[in-house]
Every structure is written in structure tokens, then in C-alpha cells.
Chain A
Amino acid sequence: MLPARTILIWGCLAAAVSVPILIAARSPLLQWRQPIYIVGGFAGIVSLAAMLCQPLLVGGYLPGLPTRRGRRVHRVVGTVVVLSVVVHVAGLWITSPPDMIDALTFSAPTAFSAFGVISMWMLFAAAGLALARRRIGIRSWRAGHASFVSLAVLTAVAHAMLIEGTMGMVSKAVLCLLVLIATGKVMADLKIWRSFRGRNM
């Protein structure tokens, strides 16, 4: 039988990820949206939920996924985050091209558009750095990845919280808070600030 701790941790993660998605799936707004808009919107929710898994995997906090295996899964989930953001942008672009072009060129009237686009670029930078990590040295890699991820997470949370969309307000706030706490915790546990000190990178 699985230990209670294992069941509790995985149960909490499953709930934190699935409850916001299930609540969004019951949103009345969906009945007035075409499939491509719905897919685009949910891709955004999936990327936020996947962002919660990332620090937990890196820190080896999930039972059955100690650090080494956790980091392998982290790469897979990282790919999921990037791909779901691409689907998010593509889906919304098809739904309303001028609104997406305004967002990408930072000329939209809404602050959340700018936050979302900054988050996307920070995420791409974090993922791009991961592809080049063997070539840039461990300190640069850790400091760079942590910096890009911090900015990506903060702007993603601002983006999500300012939007009036299909997500429930409470479940969205809880998910955002958990993403912030998990990201902060793993950076503290890994003493990430050490990578910013010492010899030149």
C-alpha cells in the first residue's frame, strides 16, 4: 500500500491542476466561443498548471520522482509548457488576429496582454537556455534559467489574474499562489543565489 504522504502529495497536486481546469470547463462563456478560441484559452490554463509541476519536479518533492528522475520529467513538462503557450497564442491569433498582433507588438490597451507576451518570451528564453546548458557552464545556466523562470512566473501570474476569462476566480488565485510558492521554495532550497555570486560567469 502506498504511504499516506505519497497519496496526500500526489492527491494535492492532482487537485491543484485538475480543479481549475474542471471549473473552467464548466464556464458559461464557453457556449459563446468557437472551438479554436476554447482550445486557445485552455492551452493557457494547461501551461499555468504545468508551471506548478516544474519546481516540484526540479526539487524532487514528488514521491517516486527523486531529483534525477524528476529533472528528466521536468524537461518533458517544460516542453509541454512551451508547446501549450504556442497553442495559446496561435488559437487566440486565429480567433482575433488584430487583438493578438496588438498584444505581440505591445500596443494592446490591456496590461495583461503585455504581461502575457513578456511571460512567453521569458519562458522561451528559459527553455532555450536549457538546450544550450552544456555549453554555458553550470553557474551561468542556473542563474540564467532561474532569472528567466522567475520573470516568466511573475508575469504569467499577473497575466492570469488580470484576465476575466473562463477560469474561476478562486481556483485561479489558488493555482497562481501555489505556482509562486513552489517556484520560490525550490529556488530557496537550491540556494540559487549562490549561482549569482563568485567568479565571473
Chain B
Amino acid sequence: MPSSQFTRRGLLAVSGAIIVSSLTGLVRPGHASGLAPTPTMRGGANNYLPGAPIVERIGGGGFWMSGTVRRAGDGMPLARRRIQIWAHTTEGHERDPHSHGATLTDAEGRFRLEMPQIVPAFGQPHGHLAYDDGVEFRTVFLRPIMRSARDTSLSADFVLEPA
């Protein structure tokens, strides 16, 4: 009967695949949908000032910083998370308090904050972002780079690891 032969071959193929994937780590138990946490970038925390206030926008605006915040593993969007943003802009240096601001993510885990135009500083046009509530999820600092100094927006995504 063809169906019994099919079943035996199928069983061998499936069990073989499970053994191979478990040995090679292709599928890790518990991380099946495996969204890896975002590591802190080198230099990301430079000129960080803890507790930047939540603002409508930083300074006069004209430039958009946006991104998403999700949970590692299942990728669930995280709502009402506080993201701090700072950069060297047309209105101030990175360490100036008025160059810093924070915003909250929406229900879909998205954030978007208007700020002054980022200009190249220390050799690269770049921004800084921090998730630092630190209670539920580990602190992450990001330092994304603009493709061109003429860009008027920049984005960075956070995948947070439970603390």
C-alpha cells in the first residue's frame, strides 16, 4: 500500500530534520519566532542626559526621528514606552540640555518626534536614542547614522529584552 510506505519515509524525513536542526541550532526552543534583542551601539550613550522631558517637539523642528519598539522573541509592539532622543543639530551641541527630548510610543509601538535638523558632528551625521526605563526591559542606546547629511529624517528600531 503506497500510504504506509509514504508514512515511513515521511517519518524518517521529519525526525531527521528535527535532529539536524536541533544539532545545528537552526531552530532554538523558546525562540521559535526568534526576534533578537537590539544590542546597544558603540558610542550610543555619549552625551546622554538621564530624564530628558517628554516634549511636543525638540526646538523648532523640521527633522523627524522615528522608529518602533517591540519585545524580543515574539515581536509584540510595546505601547507607551519612553524613548529619549538627542543629537548635534542646527540648534545646539549634543551635550546641550535643549538638544534633548523624549516621546512615548503609540499603541502599535511606534514613536515619532520632530527635532531640529541633524548636522554632521564628530565626522558623521548621526543621532542618539535611548530606552532607559530599565525596570521591565534592559536599557538600550542607539546611534543611527544618516545616509546623507541632507536627509530630513532618521529612524531606529528597538527590540527590547526583558530585564
Instruction: Report if B119 contacts A (CB, 8 A).
Output: yes
Judge whether B93 and A34 touch: CB under 8 Å.
yes
Judge whether A96 and B93 touch: CB under 8 Å.
yes
Complex formed: what's the CA distance from A29 to B93 in Å? 12
The number of chain B residues touching the other chain, given as a range, is: 20 to 34
Judge whether A99 and B46 touch: CB under 8 Å.
yes
Judge whether B123 and A163 touch: CB under 8 Å.
yes
Instruction: Report if A63 contacts B (CB, 8 A).
Output: no
Select the residue from B43, B119, B122 with max chain A CB neighbours within 10 A: B122
Closest Cβ–Cβ distance, residue A149 to chain B (whole Å): 24
A-chain residues with CB within 8 Å of residue B95 when the two chains form the complex: 96
Interface residues of A (CB under 8 A from B): 29, 32-34, 37, 92, 95-96, 98-99, 102, 107-110, 112-113, 162-165
Q: List 30 A-B contacts (CB under 8 A).
A: A29-B119, A29-B120, A32-B88, A32-B89, A32-B90, A32-B119, A33-B93, A33-B121, A92-B122, A95-B93, A96-B46, A98-B43, A98-B45, A99-B43, A99-B47, A102-B42, A102-B43, A108-B43, A109-B41, A109-B42, A109-B43, A110-B122, A110-B124, A162-B123, A163-B123, A164-B123, A164-B124, A164-B125, A164-B149, A165-B123
Q: A102-B42, A102-B43 are in contact. List 14 more A-B contacts (CB 8 A).
A: A29-B119, A33-B93, A96-B93, A96-B95, A96-B121, A99-B47, A99-B122, A102-B46, A108-B42, A108-B43, A109-B43, A164-B124, A165-B120, A165-B123
